């Protein structure tokens, strides 16, 4: 009964006119950035953070959440029509979706992606409502040592799930942690890592770092690559699936939904890992695995369901533990902190309208996305013809205005430019910027819990090893890191990274 009461509270927040409007804006923008290759939800949310400052906290998170799961929908459109995934989680969808489009079944592929995404999003919303409150209640029992251990586990998980070299992923984490600690020491007021620049005495502005690393650096990368956008179909028809198709896609949708829901909760998991895992399972379970890669509709249904379920359940550790499971959740934490809200278990009790409003808005968002994606697919197809050289000046101008508006400080614009070229350089060196952003966000919180634990224990470092929960979490993190460092695992990571590149 409590869950129904809480969902009623959430619906009362989500169904208010202004929150419906912000949910609609988020879904439209999410679909748009998913359709347009090269933007993505990380860059878009980073660019839109300044616009959320004047909004109520619930409205801000509802809009940003709509961008995230909306991009999962939109990313499938380019994956199916032009074999160019608009989102990393749609890479797997392109394998069979593009082949279906070449066979004249683009409409069936797009309908499968939309139906699978809607079912997965609906189920994931209810799972979020069921499991998030108990987890928040457990988290209230955590002390500083447990939170520190949990953040260590989260950082190790991001290293495990990043592609490419383990050493480079570890270096990105350390770099993010170091730059996150820049500014004034919270206990001694000593300046750290400011390089003598007064404007950095409060640390690097989160919005400037996020926009530069993911927004502007992505523009530079796309200008360099100049990806081809030749479509196999300029007109999409056949959006109504046959009974045979519905019978084929229902089991993969359900399997993908529950797989994505579980993997989305794990730190470092989420949409991309879920879609790859779902495709592998569907191929193994298929009576004729040879159909996969040649236009198997199950190869679209499973991964699309998995990535949407994973995207939504990744909100559970962010809302209940204050722990980002992926870079988008790190941006969400940044948005909440800017609003004066500390993400964590207290949000459920202190801000129930925010917590339950965001959860209820996800179901509303999934309904809006179905209404947007299928009837308006012709518009999304035409958007793919917009030349990128027209888009990028607008993106740069929007980023610059947004960063400057945060604190009316031109130094933040220069900071964004520095991180833009830094982010581009990292990618050229084969380093993923995602672990860097996670380290940057978690760094200050990690330091605070570490120092608080040591103060309470009077400097006794064994406090992390004498508390059962913290030592268990640290042991799990150590085992996971050791497994990742094994030569055989490292070789597979390098091969996977080479294929993605």
CA distance 383 to 246: 29
* Average pLDDT for the chain: 78
Buried b (16+ CB within 10 A) or exposed e, 246-262: eebbeebbbbbbbbbbb
What is the DSSP annotation of 415-428?
HHHHHHHHHHHHHH
Report CA-CA distances (Å) from 302 to 242, 250, 347.
18, 9, 33
Q: Most confidently modeled of 25-34, 70-79, 205-214, 380-389?
A: 25-34
Structure-token pair, residue 411: 């130094």
Q: Are 136 and 348 in contact (CB under 8 A)?
A: yes
Per-residue pLDDT tens for 402-437?
Answer: 777 666 788 888 888 899 898 889 888 888 777 787
The set of residues, in sequence order, having a beta carbon less than 8 Å from that of 190 and lying 6+ positions away, is 184
Q: Which tens digit of pLDDT belongs to each residue from 85-140?
A: 556 566 678 778 888 888 888 788 888 888 888 898 888 888 888 877 777 777 66
| pLDDT reported for residue 24 | 92
Taking CA 456 as the corner, what is the angle to CA 450 and CA 457, rounded to the nearest 5 degrees? 90
Per-residue model confidence (pLDDT) at position 254? 92
Cα–chain center distance at 230? 28
pLDDT band at 252 (very low <50, low <70, confident <90, very high): very high
How many helices (H) does the chain have, and how many strands (E)?
24, 2
Residues 6 or more apart whose Cβ sits within 8 Å of residue 136:
319, 320, 321, 345, 347, 348
CB of 90 closer than 8 Å to CB of 275: yes
Q: Which two tokens stand for residue 222?
A: 């796309």
Asked if the model's pLDDT at residue 2 lies above 80, the reply is no
263-311: pLDDT as tens digits = 777 655 556 667 777 887 888 888 888 888 888 888 888 888 888 888 8
Query: What residues does 184 pair with on adjacent strands?
Result: 191
Residue 331 Cα distances to 45, 104, 147, 258, angstroms: 7, 39, 20, 25
Task: Give the 3-state secondary structure of residue 92.
Answer: helix
At residue 149, does pLDDT exceed 80? yes
Quote the tokens at residue 5.
């009461």
The pLDDT, as a whole number, for residue 21 is: 93
Q: What is the pLDDT of residue 279?
A: 83
pLDDT tens-place string over residues 163-199: 667 788 888 888 988 888 888 877 777 888 777 777 7
Residue 161 is predicted with a pLDDT of: 58
Given a cut of 70, is residue 383 above it in pLDDT? no
Nearest Cα residue to 149 out of 267, 263, 313: 267
Considering only residues 496 and 483, tell me which one the structure prediction assigns the higher pLDDT: 483
**CA angle, 5 as apex, 73 and 139 as ends, to 5°?**
75
| Coil, helix or strand at residue 316 | helix
Cα distance between residue 139 and residue 155, in whole Å = 18
Average pLDDT over residues 389-411: 75
* Residue 351: per-residue pLDDT: 84
pLDDT in tens, 308-330: 888 888 888 787 777 777 777 87
SS3 of residue 2 by DSSP: helix
Radius of gyration of the chain (CA): 22
Which of 15-19, 103-107, 249-253 is predicted with the least confidence, judged by mean pLDDT? 103-107
Look at residue 253 in the predicted model and tell me its pLDDT.
92
Distance of alpha carbon 49 from alpha carbon 380, whole angstroms: 25
- Whole-model pTM above 0.95? no
Looking at residue 223, its pLDDT comes to 75
The residue-averaged pLDDT of 144-155 equals 82
Return the half-sphere exposure (C-beta side, CA atoms, 13 A cut-off) of residue 482.
6
The pLDDT tens digits of the residues spanning 461-492 come to: 888 888 888 888 889 888 878 877 776 555 65
Q: Taking Cα atoms as reference points, which of 65, 10, 71 lies closest to residue 40?
A: 71
With contact defined as beta carbons under 8 Å apart, do 267 and 289 qualify?
A: no
Question: Which residue stretches of 226-297 are H helix?
Answer: 243-265, 271-285
User: How much is the pLDDT for 242?
Assistant: 80
Closest to 37 measured CA to CA, from 96, 100, 79: 79
């Amino acid at each position: 009964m409590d869950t129904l009461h809480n969902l009623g509270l959430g619906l009362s927040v989500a169904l208010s006119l202004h929150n419906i409007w912000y949910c609609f804006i988020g879904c439209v923008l999410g679909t748009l950035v998913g359709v347009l290759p090269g933007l993505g939800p990380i860059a878009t949310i980073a660019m839109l953070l300044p616009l959320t400052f004047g909004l109520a906290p619930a409205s801000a998170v509802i809009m940003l959440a709509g961008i995230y799961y909306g991009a999962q929908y939109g990313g499938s459109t380019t994956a199916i029509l032009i074999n160019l995934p608009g989102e990393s989680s749609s890479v797997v969808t392109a394998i069979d979706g593009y082949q279906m489009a070449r066979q004249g079944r683009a409409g069936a592929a797009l309908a499968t992606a939309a139906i699978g995404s809607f079912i997965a999003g609906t189920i994931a919303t209810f799972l979020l409502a069921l499991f998030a409150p108990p987890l928040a209640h457990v988290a209230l029992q955590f002390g500083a040592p447990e939170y520190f251990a949990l953040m260590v586990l989260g950082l190790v998980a991001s290293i495990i799930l990043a592609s490419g070299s383990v050493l480079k992923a570890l270096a990105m984490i350390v770099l993010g942690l170091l730059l996150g600690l820049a500014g004034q020491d919270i206990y001694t007021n000593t300046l750290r890592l400011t390089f003598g620049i007064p404007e950095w005495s409060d640390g690097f502005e989160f919005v400037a770092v996020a926009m530069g690393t993911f927004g502007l650096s992505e523009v530079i990368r796309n200008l360099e690559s100049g990806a081809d956008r030749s479509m196999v179909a300029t007109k999409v028809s056949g959006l109504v699936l046959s009974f045979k198709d519905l019978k084929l896609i229902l089991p993969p949708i359900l399997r993908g939904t529950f797989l994505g829901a579980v993997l989305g909760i794990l730190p470092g998991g989420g949409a991309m890992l879920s879609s790859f895992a779902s495709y592998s399972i569907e191929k193994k379970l298929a009576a004729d695995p040879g159909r996969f890669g040649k236009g198997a509709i199950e190869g679209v249904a499973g991964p699309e369901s998995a990535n949407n379920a994973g995207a939504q359940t990744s909100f559970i550790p962010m809302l209940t533990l204050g722990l980002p499971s992926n870079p988008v959740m790190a941006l969400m934490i940044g948005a909440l902190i800017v609003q004066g809200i500390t993400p964590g278990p207290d949000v459920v009790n202190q801000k129930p309208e925010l917590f339950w409003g965001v959860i209820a808005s996800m179901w509303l968002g999934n309904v809006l996305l179905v209404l947007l994606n299928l009837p308006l697919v012709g518009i999304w197809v035409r958007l793919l013809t917009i030349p990128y050289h027209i888009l990028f000046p607008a993106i740069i101008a929007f980023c610059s205005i947004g960063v400057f508006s945060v604190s009316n400080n031109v130094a933040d614009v220069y900071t964004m430019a520095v991180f833009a070229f830094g982010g581009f350089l990292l990618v050229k060196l084969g380093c993923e910027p995602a672990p860097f952003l996670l380290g940057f966000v978690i760094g200050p919180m990690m330091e605070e819990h570490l120092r608080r634990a040591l103060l309470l224990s009077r400097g006794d470092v064994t406090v992390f090893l004498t508390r059962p929960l913290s030592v268990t979490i640290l042991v799990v993190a150590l085992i996971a890191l050791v497994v990742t460092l094994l030569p055989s695992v490292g070789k597979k990571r390098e091969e996977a990274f080479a294929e993605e590149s």
